[in-house]
Each structure stands twice: as structure tokens, then as C-alpha cells.
């Protein structure tokens, strides 16, 4: 449940964790490794971020220590990220970022907030890692990041929430109790803050707006505009303008907290006891401000919405794009629609015209239903196609690579523009919510896959992988030969993928299908929907020619000439045998695989069939610096080989793209290949390309269109990562992060 956020007591107690400061010589070796020559910057709407949120971590600690679970203490929290995930690729739709708690609008002074924002951008530029800010708009839970805010909102009762309307003898509701109600919260243990703000108070709103404008936006816009002018606007991943915005409720309506009147909570730090008069609903101050004399939950939902909108508009009006502004409420009502509490407001309260709706979404701490979530967002604003997982965790989705991969697919497939991963920073390593930093952990490996925009593959090795029959197909299913298929019963037969593929189509234009067509039909079709266009339509379709009555045949469909093939793929539909209307239909089909994306190897968790050919020692796969294959060059004709029998149709593949680090003096690389009709390795089927000597990871794009033999079906690929002039000394190492074959 949302009750377990775990910004835990270590933060409020300010416990020293004995953090090690890294050797400056080892801090950063990939700082400037971003490849940006000839890049085309994505729009704000196209960018997707995985934010590794530094829980309990100040901006100074972000670049002075690293105490995360399984962390590499040779690097700082932020400096470690490029070592794990590789340099940020500015052309890639998926990027990673570091997230920071704050600025804290209710507790920090303007100067303290300005320092945090400036220092955060300094770190972002130092490591070329985008930064994300999680502003606190209501919680007032700690002064560890600075307690200099003036005035203190809780010194004015009209700025704070009450437990009742004022009686005839009271100036404010509940005054006779002797103090304002504390703001009680349970993020792993019960604690309380001094008070909770009245979100409708004009004085409080003016204070928060001043804090936001002067402490945050004044500096943020200056730095962001400078970055945009230098082509680095991507280094600002965004900001959540609230942190689970709500109005507290300790009554029986709040079944998430289930406060027991006979055993009221006790603050784990101070020992204070919740008083019986506090164990009810708050919101009376907001209602009183609006002129109400009776409790009205629906009106309080509107208050929550309007306060979020007020903050979002304040940021938007200064020039921050709405795609980089996120509201933030708990998303549990998407899975528990019967909840009726201001603690978990309706989904629509997060939707406004100035931000992207954001939610806490975790299968363990805040269960959700993404279909319901999207439907509710659509009801509130049909034009809003995206959302943010503003507070997520790895717990519950980190049991295996497949589980973590499906989690990211589910989020991005439903339209998430940002997925925050809490528990990356100073979360205690023994906490169930701590995220492992190990490059070999399933969750990290899945994140790497999405950050690499790896080819989407359905291999049907163990099942149908979410594919189902649409119509005009009988007996559809999976067989133990690793294929899906069925019998054709009509002239518009089709099959459907799951409805949340989540693949960013970007520059990935190829759909490859292996089909056995036991029918007389010769036309196949590909339809698709995206998160921005969810309906099936003829403008999202492409036909391809099939061989009638054929055994397994690979069909490569180039979607580059389909204008709507852009954004995030939501669902794919394959018509494996499209008959002429009115003609009879019979026969059957089977599909061995479906690939979406350009052919390639990303080396996320293995060498993927590549082996050392000759004159290379210690060749292998390494889980570091973004993952790579590599070895030591020992001769003038060193090379590596792909697996054999690639069976890739070359008609739609003009370039071989290699991202390579060359730690040698050599200046020549080469690409060789064989085809199914020409099995010989020879100079007629090779291209040389210029290598940068002693260079960091660099992307080399080799044009194969000038090679007459680059035709037909590719059988095997060979890369010579360091080709020395005969007789010259040979030494040095090479590392390859990816190899792609693109059109």
C-alpha cells in the first residue's frame, strides 16, 4: 500500500551512514561518452525516462557517496549510473535519469531550494545524466534538506487543516482541543509532522507560489534554457509538482490505513500518541474557506485537483513544457474503485491542462489497474494520452528478467512517459524496497533492455506470449515445436498481440515474420495501434506479398513509408492470409517468430552468438559500462563472428552500425559477410571504415549499399575491430556495445 513509502526514519533522524567518498580519479570515465554527431533531438513528447530515484538522498550526497544496495562505492550515486547503463544516447527515445527528493516547498528557504536546483544541474552536466525533481507540496515531513522556510505555514491556523468546523466559541475548527491536528503518516512506521496545509487557503497558496517561483522556477528555467540552447534540453527529465497530493483521512473510510480507535498510532520517533479527536477526517478548513458548513467529500476532491492544477499552471506559465511537469497522487483507486477517501482521491484529480498526470503505482505498496487508469484519464481529458509512474518500486516485479521486462512493457505500453524507481539511493540495503545496483540483477538488466530500445521479439519458444486469435481462425494455439497457428475459416483472418507492447518505434522500421502458409492466399497484412492512436484504421496498415503453399519463409516488412508508424507501439495485428473478398478460404498457417525493430545485437546479458575468430584473447561478454563484448587484439587480422545462418533479407538493410571503443592505435575497421548464395569470405564482400585510435565508445555507421554482394539473404557477419597494417605492432583492447543492421 501507499502507506509504505519508506522515506524512512533514517531521514528524519538524520542518521550518519558512514558513506565513503570515491577517489576523484575513478569518479567518471564515461562523462563525455554521449554520441551526438548528426543527432536529431527528440521532442519533449517523444522522450521516455526511467528515473532512478535517490531515496533519502540530498543533492550533496548524490555526488559524494554511494551506499545503495549492491552499489559500487568507487563511484558516486550519479557517477555509477553511466557505469551500469552506459552513456546516455541523446537520440534514443528511452533515457535514464537520477531523481532527487525536493525542493521542499514547505520547509526549505528560497536560497536552500536555489542551491539544490543549481547543484543538481551541475551534477547532470558533469555526468551527462538527466535530473528529475520530486517537489514536496504538502508533506512537510523533514528539515534535513533545509528548514529555513519563512514564514512557517503551521503558525497560521487558517493556513492549516482542521478536524471540524469552528464552533460558536472557536476562531478555527477544533481550537478547543488546544492545538492543530498533527499530520500523521505511515511510510513504514507511524510518524507525524506539525500540521497539514489548507489547500484552499489564499494565504497558503500565495506562500507556496512564491516558494515555487523564487526558489525553484527562477533557477530551473535559467538552467533549462541554457541546456536547450546547447542542444542538451534532455538533461532536464522533469519535475513532479506534488508528492501524493491528498487530504488526510484517519476515519473508517480510509481502509488503507485502518486506524483502530482503540489502539491509536504512536510516533516511532517522538513517542507522541495520536489523540482520539485527531482520528477522523481532515478537510474542514478547506471547506470552511469555500463557505461550506457541512462535510462534502466530492468538493474536497475538487480542492485536491485545483491545488495540483494551480501548481502545474504556475510552472507551465514560466515556460516549462507540460510533458516535463507531473502531478502526483496515489493510483490505488484504479484497482480499488470502491475506495471513498480523500487520502486516495479519484484518478481525474491528477488530470489538468498544464501537466502530465502522475501516480504512485506499485503492485506491492500501491496496487493499480492500468486499463482502468487510462480509461479514467481519457474520461477526464480525451487528449491526454500519457501518464507517469511518479513513484514506483522494483519490489514485486524484480523476481526475474521476464517479470521486470513485462513491468516496463506494461508501463510504456499503456503510455507511461516516465517510470520512477524509488529505493535507489540511501534506502537501507536490508529494506524490502531497496533496488539492487548490480549490473546482473534482473531489474537492472530489464531496464538496460528498454534503454537500448532493443528489438521486440516474440519467439514462441515456450508459449503464445500473449498472442490470441481475432476472427476467421479456428483451433488457434501454441505447439511444442515453438510455433503459433491455426486453421483459416474466412477471408479476414488475423491474430493479435497483447494490448500493451510498449515498444518505441522511433527509427526501428522493420517487422519480420516467419510464416508457413499452407493456403493459396498471397497477401499478408500488418496492422498496429499506438498509445497516441488506439483505434484500428487503414492508415495504420501495410500489406506484404506471401508465397502460396509455402514452408517457413521470412518476410521483412519495412514500415518506413507508413507515416503513422511512430511513437509507442500499443498493439500489433498480423493477418497471416488475407483472401480476396468473395473467394473461398481454406488451409492453415503457423508462425515461428515475429520481430519488431531493426536487426541487431545489444549484448544486454550475453554475447548473443558472437565469438572470437582469430588473434583475440580473453574474448567474452562483460556486465559493465552499459554491457559489451570485447577482448584483447593480438594480431594484425583480428576478427569476431556472428552466429551462422542469420537469414536476414538484405533488401531493406543498407547500413551496419557498430558502437565500439578502440583502446589501440589502429585506425581501420572492417565488415565482412556471407550470404546464402555466396558462402566465401573474400574482399568482394567487405567494407573498410575509419576507426578513431584510443577512443571512447563511438558509433560507426557503415554504408553497405556500395558492395555488389550485399544482396539476397545474409548468412553470417564478421567484424574486424582493429585491422593493423601488416608488419606494424599490434596491441590494445576493443569493446562493442551494439551492432545493428538498419535501413
Q: What is the DSSP string of 236-281?
A: EEEEES-SS----B-STT-TTT--BTTB--B-TTT-PBPPGGGSSB
Kindly state whether residues 244 and 362 are assigned to the same domain: yes
Which pLDDT does position 724 carry in this prediction? Answer: 66
In angstroms, the CA 689 to CA 262 distance is 77
Kindly state whether residues 407 and 483 are assigned to the same domain: no
B/e letters for 117-144, b = 16+ CB within 10 Å, e = fewer, are bebbbebbbebbbbbbbbbbbbbbbbbb
With a cut of 70, which residues of the chain have pLDDT below it? 1-42, 453-455, 461, 506-507, 579-584, 598-599, 604-605, 624-626, 652, 724-729, 743
Q: Indicate whether 3 belongs to any domain.
A: no
Q: Confirm if 520 and 548 have CB atoms less than 8 A apart.
A: yes
Instruction: Kindly report the backbone phi and psi dihedral angles of residue 94, in degrees, each rounded to the nearest multiple of 5, phi listed first.
Output: -105, 125
Which pLDDT does position 729 carry in this prediction? Answer: 66
In angstroms, the CA 700 to CA 559 distance is 24
In angstroms, the CA 254 to CA 339 distance is 8
Kindly state whether residues 608 and 592 are assigned to the same domain: no
Kindly state whether residues 184 and 303 are assigned to the same domain: yes
Do you find a cis peptide bond into 103, omega within 30 degrees of 0?
A: yes
Q: Which three cell numbers stand for residue 280?
A: 477522523
Under DSSP, the state recorded for 211 is I
Which pLDDT does position 2 carry in this prediction? Answer: 44
B/e letters for 180-217, b = 16+ CB within 10 Å, e = fewer, are bbbbbbbbbbbbbbbbbbbbbbeebbebbbebbbebbb
178: buried, middle or exposed (CB in 10 Å: 19+, 13-18, 0-12)?
Answer: exposed
Q: Confirm if 386 and 417 have CB atoms less than 8 A apart.
A: yes
In angstroms, the CA 469 to CA 75 distance is 50
* Residue after which a domain boundary falls, among 398, 431, 453: 453
Distance of CA 565 to the CA centre of its chain: 21
Under DSSP, the state recorded for 284 is H
Q: Indicate whether 1 belongs to any domain.
A: no
Q: Indicate whether 578 belongs to any domain.
A: yes
Q: In 252-403, where do the E strands start and end?
A: 325-326, 329-330, 358-360, 387-392
Kindly state whether residues 310 and 432 are assigned to the same domain: yes
List the domain range (segments joined by +) for residue 58: 9-453
Q: Indicate whether 221 belongs to any domain.
A: yes
Strand, coil or helix: what is 530?
strand
Q: Indicate whether 327 belongs to any domain.
A: yes
Distance of CA 234 to the CA centre of its chain: 14
Kindly state whether residues 550 and 632 are assigned to the same domain: no
Which pLDDT does position 57 carry in this prediction? Answer: 96
Closest to 723 in 3D by CA, of 666, 656, 664: 666
* Number of domains within the chain: 3
In angstroms, the CA 67 to CA 104 distance is 23
Q: Indicate whether 269 belongs to any domain.
A: yes
Kindly state whether residues 132 and 265 are assigned to the same domain: yes
293: buried, middle or exposed (CB in 10 Å: 19+, 13-18, 0-12)?
Answer: exposed
Sign of torsion over alpha carbons 245, 248, 249, 254: positive
Q: Indicate whether 611 belongs to any domain.
A: yes
In angstroms, the CA 392 to CA 361 distance is 5
402: buried, middle or exposed (CB in 10 Å: 19+, 13-18, 0-12)?
Answer: exposed
* Residue after which a domain boundary falls, among 597, 631, 663: 597
Strand partners, 483: 479
In angstroms, the CA 54 to CA 61 distance is 9
Kindly state whether residues 328 and 189 are assigned to the same domain: yes
Contacts of 271 by beta carbon, 8 Å cutoff, 6+ apart = none
* Residue after which a domain boundary falls, among 535, 562, 597: 597
Which pLDDT does position 490 carry in this prediction? Answer: 87
Q: What is the CATH number of the domain that holds 702?
A: 2.60.120.260
Which pLDDT does position 92 carry in this prediction? Answer: 77
pTM: 0.73
In angstroms, the CA 727 to CA 734 distance is 20
Q: Indicate whether 26 belongs to any domain.
A: yes
Kindly state whether residues 416 and 476 are assigned to the same domain: no
Kindly state whether residues 158 and 296 are assigned to the same domain: yes
Kindly state whether residues 627 and 523 are assigned to the same domain: no
In angstroms, the CA 315 to CA 216 distance is 9
Which pLDDT does position 218 carry in this prediction? Answer: 98
Kindly state whether residues 627 and 583 are assigned to the same domain: no
Amino acid at each position: 500500500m501507499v502507506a509504505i513509502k519508506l522515506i524512512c526514519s533514517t531521514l528524519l533522524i538524520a542518521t550518519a551512514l558512514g558513506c565513503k567518498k570515491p577517489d576523484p580519479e575513478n569518479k567518471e570515465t564515461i562523462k563525455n561518452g554521449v554520441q551526438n554527431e548528426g543527432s536529431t533531438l527528440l521532442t519533449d513528447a517523444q522522450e521516455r525516462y526511467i528515473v532512478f530515484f535517490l531515496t533519502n538522498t540530498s543533492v550533496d550526497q548524490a555526488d559524494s557517496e554511494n551506499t545503495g544496495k549492491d552499489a559500487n562505492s568507487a563511484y558516486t550515486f550519479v557517477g555509477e549510473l553511466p557505469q551500469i547503463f552506459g552513456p546516455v544516447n541523446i537520440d534514443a527515445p528511452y533515457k535514464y535519469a537520477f531523481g532527487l527528493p525536493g525542493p521542499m516547498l514547505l520547509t526549505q528557504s528560497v536560497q536552500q531550494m536555489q542551491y539544490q536546483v543549481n547543484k543538481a544541474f551541475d551534477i547532470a552536466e558533469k555526468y551527462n545524466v538527466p535530473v528529475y525533481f520530486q517537489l514536496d507540496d504538502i508533506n512537510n515531513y523533514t528539515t534535513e534538506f533545509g528548514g529555513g522556510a519563512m514564514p512557517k505555514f503551521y503558525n497560521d491556523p487558517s493556513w492549516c487543516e482542521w478536524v471540524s468546523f469552528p464552533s460558536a466559541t472557536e476562531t478555527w475548527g477544533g481550537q478547543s482541543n488546544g492545538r492543530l491536528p498533527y499530520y500523521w503518516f505511515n511510510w513504514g512506521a507511524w510518524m507525524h509532522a506539525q500540521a497539514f496545509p489548507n489547500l484552499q487557503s489564499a494565504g497558503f497558496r500565495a506562500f507556496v507560489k512564491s516558494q515555487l517561483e523564487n526558489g525553484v522556477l527562477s533557477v530551473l528555467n535559467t538552467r533549462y534554457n541554457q541546456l536547450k540552447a546547447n542542444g542538451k534540453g534532455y538533461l532536464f527529465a522533469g519535475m513532479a509538482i506534488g508528492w501524493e497530493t491528498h487530504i488526510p483521512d484517519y476515519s473508517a473510510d480510509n481502509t488503507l490505513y485502518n486506524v483502530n480507535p482503540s489502539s491509536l498510532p504512536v510516533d516511532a520517533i517522538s513517542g507522541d500518541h495520536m489523540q482520539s479527536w485527531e482520528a477522523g477526517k481532515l478537510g474542514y478548513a478547506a471547506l470552511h474557506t469555500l463557505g461550506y458548513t457541512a462535510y462534502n467529500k466530492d468538493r474536497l476532491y475538487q480542492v485536491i485537483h485545483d491545488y495540483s492544477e494551480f501548481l502545474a499552471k504556475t510552472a507551465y506559465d514560466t515556460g516549462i513544457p507540460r510533458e516535463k511537469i507531473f502531478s502526483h497522487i496515489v493510483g490505488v483507486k484504479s484497482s480499488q474503485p470502491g475506495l471513498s477517501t480523500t487520502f486516495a482521491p479519484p484518478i481525474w484529480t491528477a488530470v489538468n491542462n498544464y501537466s502530465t498526470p502522475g501516480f504512485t503505482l506499485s503492485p506491492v505498496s500501491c496496487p493499480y489497474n492500468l486499463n482502468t487508469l487510462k480509461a479514467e484519464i481519457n474520461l477526464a481529458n480525451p487528449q491526454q494520452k500519457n501518464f507517469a509512474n511518479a513513484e514506483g518500486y522494483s519490489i514485486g516485479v524484480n523476481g526475474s528478467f521476464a517479470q521486470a521486462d513485462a513491468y516496463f512493457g506494461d508501463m510504456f505500453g499503456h503510455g507511461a512517459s516516465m517510470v520512477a524507481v524509488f529505493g535507489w539511493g540511501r534506502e537501507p540495503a536490508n529494506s524490502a524496497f531497496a533496488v539492487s545496483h548490480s549490473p546482473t540483477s534482473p531489474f537492472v538488466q530489464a531496464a538496460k533492455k528498454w534503454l537500448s530500445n532493443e528489438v521486440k521479439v516474440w519467439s514462441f519458444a515456450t508459449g503464445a506470449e500473449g498472442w490470441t486469435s481475432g476472427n476467421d481462425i479456428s483451433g488457434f494455439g501454441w505447439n511444442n515445436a515453438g510455433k503459433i497457428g491455426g486453421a483459416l475459416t474466412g477471408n479476414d483472418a488475423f491474430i493479435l498481440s497483447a494490448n500493451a507492447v510498449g515498444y518505441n518505434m522511433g527509427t526501428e522500421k522493420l517487422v519480420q515474420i516467419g510464416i508457413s502458409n499452407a493456403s493459396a492466399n498471397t497477401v499478408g497484412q500488418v496492422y498496429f495501434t499506438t498509445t497516441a492512436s488506439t483505434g484500428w484504421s487503414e492508415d495504420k496498415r501495410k500489406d506484404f506479398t506471401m508465397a502460396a503453399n509455402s514452408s517457413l519463409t521470412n518476410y521483412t516488412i519495412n514500415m518506413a513509408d507508413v507515416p503513422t508508424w511512430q511513437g509507442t507501439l500499443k498493439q500489433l495485428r498480423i493477418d497471416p492470409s488475407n483472401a480476396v473478398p468473395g473467394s473461398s478460404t481454406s488451409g492453415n498457417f503457423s508462425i515461428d517468430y515475429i520481430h519488431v525493430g531493426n536487426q541487431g545485437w545489444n549484448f544486454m546479458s550475453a554475447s548473443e552468438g558472437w565469438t572470437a575468430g582469430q588473434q583475440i584473447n580473453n574474448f567474452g561478454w562483460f556486465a559493465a559500462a552499459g554491457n559489451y563484448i570485447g577482448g584483447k587484439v593480438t594480431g594484425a587480422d583480428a576478427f569476431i563472428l556472428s552466429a551462422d545462418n542469420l537469414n536476414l533479407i538484405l533488401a531493406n538493410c543498407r547500413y551496419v552500425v557498430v558502437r565500439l571503443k578502440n583502446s589501440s592505435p589502429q585506425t581501420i575497421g572492417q565488415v565482412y559477410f556471407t550470404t546464402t548464395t555466396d558462402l566465401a569470405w573474400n574482399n568482394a564482400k567487405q567494407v573498410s571504415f575509419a576507426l578513431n585510435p584510443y577512443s571512447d565508445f563511438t558509433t560507426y555507421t557503415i554504408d553497405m549499399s556500395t558492395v555488389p554482394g550485399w544482396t539476397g539473404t545474409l548468412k553470417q557477419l564478421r567484424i574486424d575491430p582493429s585491422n593493423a597494417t601488416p608488419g606494424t605492432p599490434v596491441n590494445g583492447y576493443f569493446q562493442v556495445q551494439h551492432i545493428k543492421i538498419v535501413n
